[in-house]
Structure 1
Amino acid sequence: MSDDGSDPSNDDGSDSPSNDGQRFDRLPETAADRAVPGRPTREEVLAWWEDRFGIDRSVLEPYTFLEKGAGKVWIYRGEATDPCRIEALGMAFLRTRQEHWKPTTRAVSRFGRHATRNVVELDPAEAARFVAGEDQPIDRWDGDWGYLIAAHELSGDREPIGVGLYLHGELRSRVPKGSRTDVGRLDGEE
């Protein structure tokens, strides 16, 4: 075991550090601190949330970021032994080892109210369709394509309701199947 918690041996017999899908490893602070190829850094994660959604770094500063498996970033408020062999710690936060990073629905539910950009506000009928897992045309959006925070006004406040993928005039719901619900109309009208 190396000082950064990575396992210095791979299945391929090489000595380069690798991910262990059964263990949480703290993200390195910067690219200069990276030992596991492809592992995101704390700096990259903070910059991504700030650049993509306008969430100020101070919101996420008190949290520890850990990777379990390839690109599955978890967030935890507090300190943990590093590395850590447990099933879960904190909440799944971000998927990074794909072409476009994707926030989890739980992360958007927890931190999305701090977002200042790439938030699409849905009317009651659109919000109901979205939480039911339905894709729908949203022609009025003139912001970035890609992953967005879908939000809806509840009791006078904008509340995040999930992650959407906006492509070619369509908002695709990324609400997990187990979290989808049929809420009918959210404005109380029949």
Structure 2
Amino acid sequence: MSGDGSGADGANGEENDGQRFDRLPETADERVVAGRPTREEVVDWWEERYGLAPETWDGHTFWEKGKGKIWAFAGDLVSPTPVEAVGMRVIRARQEHWKPSTDAVQRFCEEATKNVVVLEPAEAERFVRGEDQELDRWEGDWGYLVAAHEFEGRVEPIGVGLYLHGELRSTVPKGRQEDLS
């Protein structure tokens, strides 16, 4: 899957209203807003990119607010819903490469089996400070990775990194960067 969320345009030509939350349609056949991702596409993307089991999302509904900001909510609401926030932002879609949010990676990617780079302690410290670093040992896909480190015998996700040309770029939001030294 390309992760672009494009597909068949809706028959009724509805447009995205960036000021409200609209529930994602289950499948492309149910899409009424052109370019809006479907639940099926979102679940498939997490499985294909990070190896997350589709069951990870059982009990969650997906919502779009803005253009491509996808939120997961452990429950259900009437759609559309005029609230400021619902659940957790999990993906920025409607762009060439979908980007998972830091919160989603920390919350859901403990069970990720693909595109997870486990950082050594010094690398993890640099990452959470927001520093980019050379990382020539990574032999997996380029693009957005789950950056993780081993903590008390378990691999724990710490954030989203962008891996390009031998460099791991930290995307830890400025307000969440930490100096652990």
Tell me which interval the TM-score lies in, with the shorter structure as reference length: over 0.9
SS of the equivalent of 1:121 reads strand
1:121 corresponds, among 98, 118, 138, to: 118
| 1:87-106 map, 5 Å | 87-106=84-103
Output the amino acid matched with 2:165. Answer: H
CA displacement 1:131-173 (0-9 Å, x = unmatched): 0000001111000000000000111110000000000000000
CA distance in 2, matches of 1:31, 1:61: 19
Q: Per-residue deviation at 1:53?
A: 0.2
RMSD: 0.8
CA distance in 2, matches of 1:86, 1:145: 36
CA displacement 1:17-75 (0-9 Å, x = unmatched): 11111110000011111000000000000000000000000011221000001100000
Aligned to 1:37: 34
1:178 is the counterpart of 2:175: yes
Aligned to 1:82: 79
2:161 corresponds, among 140, 164, 187, to: 164
Q: Which has the larger radius of gyration?
A: 1
Structure 1: unaligned runs, 5 residues or longer: 1-14, 185-190
SS of the equivalent of 1:144 reads coil
Q: TM-score, normalised by structure 1?
A: 0.88
Aligned to 1:153: 150
Structure 2: unaligned runs, 5 residues or longer: 1-11
CA distance in 1, matches of 2:120, 2:18: 40
More contact order relative to length (CA 8 Å, sep ≥ 6): 2
Runs (4 or more) in structure 1 with deviation over 4 Å come to none
Q: Per-residue deviation at 1:16?
A: 2.5
CA distance in 2, matches of 1:99, 1:20: 21
1:70 is the counterpart of 2:67: yes
CA distance in 2, matches of 1:144, 1:17: 36
SS of the equivalent of 1:51 reads helix
Aligned to 1:9: none
Aligned to 1:112: 109
Task: Give the number of equivalent residue pairs.
Answer: 170
Output the amino acid matched with 2:111. Answer: H
Aligned to 1:131: 128
CA distance in 2, matches of 1:48, 1:59: 12
1:26 corresponds, among 16, 23, 35, to: 23
Q: TM-score, normalised by structure 2?
A: 0.92
Aligned to 2:50: 53
1:16 corresponds, among 13, 16, 28, to: 13
